[in-house]
Amino acid sequence: MKAHYKKFAVMACTLLMLGFGLLYSTHKTLNVSAAATGGITGTIKLDGTPPHQKPIDMSKEPNCAKAHASSPVTTETVIVGPSGGLKWVVVYISEGLDAATASQVPPVKPTWDQKGCQYIPHVMALDVNQHFQVSNSDPHSHNIHPLPKPNGANHEWNRSQPPGTPPFDQVWAGEEIAIPVKCNIHPWMHGYMAVVKGPTAVTDENGSYTINVPPGNYTVTAWQETYGAQSQKVTVAAGKPATADFTYKAK
């Protein structure tokens, strides 16, 4: 009898401790499973009705109003694809990267284009010190005005780019998720540049992404401009890639 009570007490104690452990833990462990190929893949979904995206009146810039006459452009704060996938979500590894993978800068130079008075892409993920180019495909001027947080490694700049001028090269010196970019001439133009160390991805219209990482234990973080960040832990084994899906609740 006595021994039985003791077992019960130890179990109750362990359960209590576990409860506290969970309370103190900051990461949610969700839906992690192994997939067939790739490092980490996943789908990001929105649960609920997305907020209404307002149509943009571009009549002040006739070129752009004309370009979008058949399908008017809306705001892009929450974009949900036909399958319920959330587009423009930045996914990156916030913990667990080895130094070599973290310091590797991709050799590709992505383009931040201004076309039809919109930023193409609306959200761009970059590595620290990764070169990117800013181009203007419109027949009129834009000013590119990124606004990083003050006193960080990145600084605000503001450059004019008239039509026909060649693309220019830029880099960001430090991690920042994410730097808002605006055009003062066309106040409806908004975009984000997410600067992270190591591999990163932005979800497509199906809410899907793939990040290539070596085997290891990682914390994957997703960031969406309206709903913010979410994290989960994931284990990538050799030849056994992982899945990390996220769900945001519509507000």
Partner 1 sequence: MRVFKSIYGCAGVLSVVLAAGVTASAQDATEVGPKPPLAVKPMESRIGNVTGHAADGKSNYRRYCAGCHGDYGDANGENAVWLDPKPRDFTIATFKCRSTLTGTLPTDEDLFNTVGRGITNSNMPIWNALSPQQRADLVAYIKIFSPRWEKEKAGEKIKIPAEPPVTMESISHGKALFTKLECWKCHGPHGEGDGPSAATLTDSKDQPIRPYNFAAGKGDSRFKCGDTNQDLYKIFMTGLDGTPMPSFADVIQPNDAWDLVHFLRTLQVSRHSKENEVLSAAHGVIPPYVDKNPPPAAAPADNKPPGGAN
Residue ranges in contact with partner 1 by CB under 8 A:
2, 5-6, 9-10, 12-13, 16-17, 20, 24, 60, 62-63, 66, 139-141, 143-145, 147, 150-151, 155-165, 168, 184-187
Distance CA 143, CA 227 (A): 28
Q: How far is the CB of 122 from partner 1 (least distance, A)?
A: 20
Of the pair 27, 140, the CB lying nearest partner 1 is at: 140
Asked if 137 contacts 115 with a C-beta cutoff of 8 angstroms, the reply is: yes
User: What would the DSSP string read from start to end of 86-146?
Assistant: BPS-EEEEEE---HHHHHPPPS---EEEEETTEEESSEEEEETT--EEEEE-SSS-EEEEE
**Which two three-digit tokens encode residue 129?**
């010190």
Q: How far is the CB of 141 from partner 1 (least distance, A)?
A: 4
Which residue's CB is nearer to partner 1, number 112 or number 248? 112
Minimum Å gap between C-beta 6 and partner 1 is 6
What one-character DSSP code corresponds to residue 240? B
| Number of helices (H), then strands (E), in the chain | 3, 18
> To the nearest whole angstrom, how small is the minimum distance from the Cβ of residue 194 to partner 1?
19
Name the DSSP letter for residue 38. Answer: S
Q: Which of 194, 202, 198, 191 is nearest to 172 (CA)?
A: 194
Q: Please say which residue, 40 or 134, places its beta carbon nearer to partner 1.
A: 134
CB closer to partner 1, 24 vs 71: 24
Minimal distance, residue 92 CB to partner 1, in Å: 25
Of 135 and 243, CB closest to partner 1: 135
